[in-house]
Copies of this chain bind each other. A is one copy, B any other.
């Protein structure tokens, strides 16, 4: 069912993506609410008016960026949480996967962390919705685990939210470590991983004794 786009539509998507990429770059040093439409088009090398062919406003572009940054992440979440092995192994693998993701898409991570509580309402809402979806997916995976026997849906969901928030905080800390001076980078990254691992371990302990 994948219809090959005509030259026309292909070129359009290309500039659209260029706008998204340029915006993401500019957002390393500012927030979305101060991102100007002209600023973005200038970075791409296109006329300011061309912007309107793709987005109604920078807020609209922000929502598209949320889609790009989080939309493609769902399969990864599912496979990560449902990975086999004892809980210690699972924690190590999860932390490692977060670190790898931050390494691969630092601008995406920064954008989500920055705009989650940022000044643009539609973007905040889009992020909140995506994270709620993540929490639901994590909940479903948690439910499959024998440890979750006897848990109510509500309790599973509150634990899922705890995990999701914790993963976001960890990702943001990894990012800060990356932004620091090169020589401290490795040590800071290791430190973040070590702390995050123990926090996850502690939460896991609480999980095991929840029904006592």
Contact = CB atoms under 8 A, between A and B. Distances in A.
Q: Is the interface of A mostly helix, strand, loop or mixed?
A: helix
A206 B195 contact: no
A147 interface: no
A122 B210 CA distance: 41
A144 interface: no
A169 B165 contact: yes
Interface in A32-67: 32-34
A185 interface: no
Copies of this chain per assembly:
2
A5 B206 CA distance: 54
Contacts of A206: 201-207, 209
A30 interface: yes
Contacts of A33: 30-31, 33-34
A133 interface: no
A207 B119 CA distance: 36
A162 interface: yes
Contact of A29 (B34, B116, B119, B210): B119
Contacts of A169: 165
10 contacts: A31-B34, A34-B119, A113-B117, A158-B195, A165-B169, A202-B203, A202-B210, A204-B206, A205-B206, A205-B209
Given A202-B207, A203-B206, A205-B210, 11 more contacts: A30-B34, A33-B33, A34-B34, A110-B117, A113-B117, A114-B117, A158-B198, A165-B169, A202-B210, A208-B209, A209-B209
